[in-house]
A and B are shown apart, each in its own frame.
Chain A
Amino acid sequence: MSNKINIAIVGGGLAGLAAAMKIAEAGHNVDLFSVVPVKRSHSVCAQGGINGAVNTKGEGDSPWKHFDDTVYGGDFLADQEPVRRMTDMAPAIIHLFDRMGVPFSRTKEGLLDFRRFGGTLHHRTAFAGASTGQQLLYALDEQVRKFESAGSVTKYEGWEMLSLVLDDHQVCRGIVAMDLQTLELKSFKADAVIMATGGPGLIYGKSTNSQVCTGSAVSACYQQGARYANGEFIQVHPTSIPGEDKLRLMSESARGEGGRVWVPKNKGDERDPQDIPDSERWYFLEEKYPAYGNLVPRDIATREIFQTCLDGYGVKGENQVYLDLSHIPAETLDRKLGAILEIYEMFIGDDPRHVPMRIFPGVHYSMGGLWVDFEQRTNIPGLFAAGECDFSIHGANRLGANSLLSCVYGGFVAAPSAIDYAKNVERGETETNGIYDSELKKQQEINDEIIRSEGGENQYKIHDEMGKVMTDNVTVIRYNDRLQETDNKLLELIERFQNISINDSNLWATQAVPHARQLWNMLQLARVITLGALNRNESRGAHYKPDFPDRNDDEWLKTTIAEYSEESPVLSYESVDVSHIEPRLRDYSKGSKQGAKKA
Chain B
Amino acid sequence: MSSNSGTKTKARLTDPPKSVRIRVKRREMPDAPQYVETFEIPYRRNLNVISVLMDIRKNPVTADGTETTPPVWDMNCLEQVCGICTMVINGRVRQSCSALIDDILLEAGGNEVVLEPMTKFPNVRDLKVDRSPMFDHLKKVHAWVELDGYHELGPGPHTPQETQQERYAYSRCMTCGCCLEACPQYHDDNYIGPQAIAQVRLFNMHPTGKMNRDERLDAMMDDDGIANCGNSQNCVQVCPMNIPLTRAIYETNREVTLHGLFGWLRK
**A417 contacts partner chain B, Cβ-Cβ < 8 Å:** no
Contact B12–A509 (Cβ < 8 Å):
no
Give the distance to chain A from B77, nearest Cβ to Cβ, in Å.
5
For B143, list chain A residues within 8 Å (CB): 142, 145
Beyond A40-B76, A134-B174, is A509–B124 a contact (Cβ under 8 Å)? Answer: yes
Binds A, one of B41-49, B182-190, B228-236, B244-252: B41-49
Name the residue of chain A whose CB is nearest to the CB of B128.
A509
CB interface residues, B 155-185, toward A, < 8 Å: 155-156, 158-161, 164-165, 167-168, 171-172, 174-175
**B18 contacts partner chain A, Cβ-Cβ < 8 Å:** no
CB interface residues, A 74-114, toward B, < 8 Å: 92, 95-96, 98-112
Beyond A92-B152, A131-B81, is A460–B58 a contact (Cβ under 8 Å)? Answer: yes
Name the residue of chain B whose CB is nearest to the CB of A504.
B69
Give the distance to chain A from B250, nearest Cβ to Cβ, in Å.
20
Beyond A112-B155, A508-B125, A510-B72, is A40–B168 a contact (Cβ under 8 Å)? Answer: no
Binds A, one of B202-210, B219-227, B255-263: B202-210
Give the distance to chain B from A370, nearest Cβ to Cβ, in Å.
22
**B153 contacts partner chain A, Cβ-Cβ < 8 Å:** yes
Give the distance to chain A from B16, nearest Cβ to Cβ, in Å.
14
Q: What 1/0 flags go to A41-55 for Cβ under 8 Å of B?
A: 110110000000000
Beyond A99-B208, A143-B144, is A181–B70 a contact (Cβ under 8 Å)? Answer: no
Contact A349–B12 (Cβ < 8 Å):
yes
Q: Which of the listed residues A245, A330, A504 has the most CB atoms from chain B within 10 Å of its own CB?
A: A245
For B202, list chain A residues within 8 Å (CB): 101
Give the distance to chain A from B137, nearest Cβ to Cβ, in Å.
11
Range of interface residues on A (Cβ < 8 Å) = 35 or more
- Checking A245, A246, A249, A355 against B9 with a beta-carbon cut-off of 8 angstroms, the contacting residue is A355
Give the distance to chain B from A178, nearest Cβ to Cβ, in Å.
16
Name the residue of chain B whose CB is nearest to the CB of A45.
B77
Q: Which of the listed residues B124, B138, B161 has the most CB atoms from chain A within 10 Å of its own CB?
A: B161
**Total of A-B residue pairs, C-beta within 8 Å:** 222
Q: What 1/0 flags go to A204-217 for Cβ under 8 Å of B?
A: 00000011100000
Contact A508–B28 (Cβ < 8 Å):
yes
Cα–Cα distance between A288 and B106 once the two chains are bound (Å): 44
CB interface residues, B 71-114, toward A, < 8 Å: 72, 74-84, 97-98, 100
Cα–Cα distance between A106 and B157 once the two chains are bound (Å): 11
**A550 contacts partner chain B, Cβ-Cβ < 8 Å:** no
For B60, list chain A residues within 8 Å (CB): 503-504
Q: Which of the listed residues B8, B156, B167 has the most CB atoms from chain A within 10 Å of its own CB?
A: B156
Contact B98–A346 (Cβ < 8 Å):
yes
Beyond A110-B161, A145-B143, A243-B46, is A36–B8 a contact (Cβ under 8 Å)? Answer: no
Name the residue of chain B whose CB is nearest to the CB of A351.
B8
Contact B154–A244 (Cβ < 8 Å):
no
Q: Told that A40-B77, A103-B159, A129-B168 touch, could you supply 6 new A-B pairs with CB distance under 8 A?
A: A39-B83, A39-B174, A103-B165, A328-B3, A354-B2, A508-B28
Which 4 pairs, one residue from A and one from B, show the smallest C-beta to C-beta distance? A98-B156, A142-B144, A244-B51, A326-B2
Q: List 29 A-B contacts (CB under 8 A).
A: A25-B149, A36-B84, A40-B77, A40-B82, A40-B84, A42-B77, A44-B82, A45-B79, A99-B153, A101-B144, A101-B145, A103-B171, A104-B164, A107-B161, A135-B168, A135-B171, A142-B143, A143-B147, A211-B75, A244-B47, A245-B50, A274-B7, A277-B1, A326-B2, A326-B4, A327-B3, A329-B3, A339-B172, A347-B98
Give A contacts to B, CB under 8 Å.
Answer: 21-22, 25, 36-37, 39-42, 44-45, 92, 95-96, 98-112, 128-129, 131, 134-135, 138, 142-143, 145-146, 148-149, 157, 181, 210-212, 243-246, 248-249, 274, 277-278, 326-330, 335, 339, 343, 346-347, 349-351, 353-355, 458, 460-461, 503-506, 508-512
